[in-house]
Amino acid sequence: MTKEQLFIQLTEALSDERLFFGHGVFDAQDEAMMVLMHVLNQSVEGILSSGEQEISSEVIMAAQQLITRRLHELKPMAYIIGEVSFAGLVFKSDERALVPRSPIAELILNKFQSWFNIEQVKTSLDLCTGSGCIGIALAKYNPHIQVDVSDISQEAIELAQTNIDLHLCNDNVRAIQSDLFENLTSRYDLIVTNPPYVSESEYQELPQEYKKEPKLGLTTPQDGLQIPVQIMLQAPMHLNDRGYLFLEVGYTDELLDDAFPAIDFEWVDFENGGEGVCVLSKEQLISYSGEFEKFLSKGKIL
């Protein structure tokens, strides 16, 4: 069997209506390529340029076994093979944290050029870091930035530390366990965050693959807005003057707009897909703080 024939076979096997794609892959074809890359230890370009090459029965079997597990366990493929690509880098991925898939990857690759000169950013925080993917990618492409990555989950922090070690970034990335900003004493030029933003009722409706991820990484009260609003309220105390917060709320963007009609949120336009990332300067966050307090008092957490 050639690589191309195996790719077709894997794509067909993955075109099963029980499967949902969205954890670092777009569809069955994309996931078949992810499996091939893993079993052949080759890049997409390498595979595409050698599609006629015959492959060994061991490799074919290894790929088929991964597909069998995927169909049986209904886990994201990233958890089955234990790794996933994000912002052009490979990260270890397992059940301790969500599978990396944030559109913030595009901002990192574009160096946030619509907002500032990245060379002037000296310190950054990836809040709610999970596997560490956002903060580590930021540090990898910008070694001049000192990055803190933090998460409430000790298990996620352990996975993030594994990824820091893997990418040899211990010099400029520090992992800190913290409930939001509780254990964070520094101020930053840039805070990026992909926090939980799913409501309990939406969570119940999600495909099986999401139920294999830690629920702590997905849900938050007040229709999925409580943690995002807490972050907006607290961020100014941890931002330097002229600092920015990039906050992902995904498809909860409309709810956020509706909850704060007086605020004209700036939403990022992504070229490679994705939505729901807003940008706020420290000054804007301070001026809206009364609105955020009012909202949180309705959820009785102030």
Ligand X SMILES: C[S@@+](CC[C@H](N)C(=O)[O-])C[C@H]1O[C@@H](n2cnc3c(N)ncnc32)[C@H](O)[C@@H]1O
Q: Tell me: does residue 93 bind ligand X (CB under 6 A).
A: no
Six-digit token string for 210: 């999401």
Which amino acid appears at position 133 of this protein?
Answer: C
Q: Give dist(CA 286, CA 264) in Å, integer.
A: 14
Residue 234 binds ligand X (CB under 6 A):
no
> Smallest distance, Å, CB 63 to ligand X?
26
- Tell me 169's DSSP state: -
103 contributes a contact to ligand X by CB under 6 A: no
CB atoms within 10 A of CB 226: 21
Query: What's the token pair of residue 77?
Result: 């493929």
Site map (CB under 6 A) of ligand X, residues 43-72, x = contact: ------------------------------
- In the set 24, 103, 195, 274, which binds ligand X (CB under 6 A)? 195
Nearer to ligand X, 10 or 80 (CB): 80
- What φ, ψ does residue 10 adopt, rounded to 5°? -65, -40
**Among candidates 138, 81, 102, which has minimal Cα distance to 23?**
102
| Member of 24, 76, 100, 103 binding ligand X (CB under 6 A) | 100
CB of 136 to ligand X, least distance (A): 10
Distance, in Å, from the CA atom of 101 to the CA atom of 107, rounded to the nearest integer, reads 13
Q: Which residues in the 252-281 window bind ligand X by CB under 6 A?
A: none
Query: Is 39 an interacting residue with respect to ligand X (CB under 6 A)?
Result: no
Closest residue to bound ligand X by CB: 130
Residue 2: CB minimum distance to ligand X, A: 35
Contact status: 194 vs ligand X (CB under 6 A): yes
Q: Which of 6, 84, 128, 229 binds ligand X (CB under 6 A)?
A: 128
The reply on whether position 217 binds ligand X by CB under 6 A is yes
Q: How far is the CB of 59 from ligand X (least distance, A)?
A: 30
Contacts of 253 (CB under 8 A, 6+ apart): 265, 267, 275, 276, 278
Distance CA 226, CA 260 (A): 13
Evaluate whether 103 touches 277 at the Cβ level (below 8 Å): yes
The alpha carbon torsion through 95, 219, 237, 187 (nearest 10 deg) reads 20
Q: How far is the CB of 146 from ligand X (least distance, A)?
A: 18
Q: Which of 216, 255, 263, 279 binds ligand X (CB under 6 A)?
A: 216
Mark the segment that binds ligand X (CB under 6 A) among 97-105, 165-173, 271-279, 292-300: 97-105
Rg (CA), the chain: 20
Which of 83, 148, 151, 223 is close enough to bind ligand X by CB under 6 A? 151
From 94, 99, 105, select the one nearest 158 (Cα to Cα).
94
Do the bridges between strand 146-151 and strand 123-127 make them parallel or antiparallel, or are there none, so unpaired? parallel
Among 119, 179, 254, 266, binds ligand X (CB under 6 A): 179
Site residue total, ligand X (CB under 6 A)? 22
Question: Which spans of this chain sit near ligand X (rule: CB under 6 A)?
Answer: 97-98, 100, 102, 128-131, 133-134, 151-153, 156, 179-180, 194-196, 216-217, 227
